[in-house]
Amino acid sequence: MIAEIEADGGNAIALAGDVRSEAYARALVALAVEKFGRLDIAFNNAGTLGEAGPSTDVSEAGWNDAIAINLTCSFLGAKHQIAEMLKHGGGSVIFTSTFVGYSFAFPGVAAYAASKSGLIGLTQALAAEFGPRGVRVNAILPGAVETGMYREMSDTADKQAFMTNLHALKRVARPEELARSVLYLASDDSAFVTSTASLVDGGASITRS
């Protein structure tokens, strides 16, 4: 990925680690500041489907792991990202939530839905707390996106057809389409936008046929 960015004229750096670790969250911010001088934008995009299946069968460990990866790691990231942004008058923090558990529900993914829905509450709380100091906080709520997680959930032609039909556009999103929505929230074009749970769902929230 770094090679692709640099080949396109950009500048990038990476740090491998465990998103569940606060030390890693702290180190990422420190590396960004060391490399680029300051931190203005943070996109917290890590996520997992987690342990799926009937909720009565989901283990406590599976539940906790989904919460840790989908919710706690975003809190830990934002905690250190915002602290750095405040040194320079503000910035933009963005989370990836989902339409699952917000405008649509699937059986068998309670841990995923609950942990991702928690990001909406986190978004609103942080936006209220740090808005007066120039930090905007928003979340995108994608519909189905052509990723490894989508292919894991939709591993048959019938499941793929079902997921496609959920959307008014009758297709799933490409990752770059989500990236454009994130870019909007990261940029000054959205300077008066904060606390939003922004549906980027291809019309899944209104489709009934």
Query: What is the gyration radius of the CA atoms in the chain, in angstroms?
Result: 18
Strands lying side by side in the sheet with 135-142: 41-44, 91-96, 135-142, 197-200
Place of tokens 């750095």: 84
Cα–Cα distance for residue pair 123/147, rounded to 1 Å: 24
Q: Based on the residue annotation, tell me whether 112 is a catalytic residue of this protein.
A: yes
Distances (CA, A) of 70 to 50, 147, 165: 9, 16, 26
Single out the residue of 31, 116, 103 nearest to residue 74, CA to CA: 116
Active-site hit among 24, 112, 150, 184: 112
Structure tokens at 155: 């591993």
Q: Which residues are catalytic?
A: 112
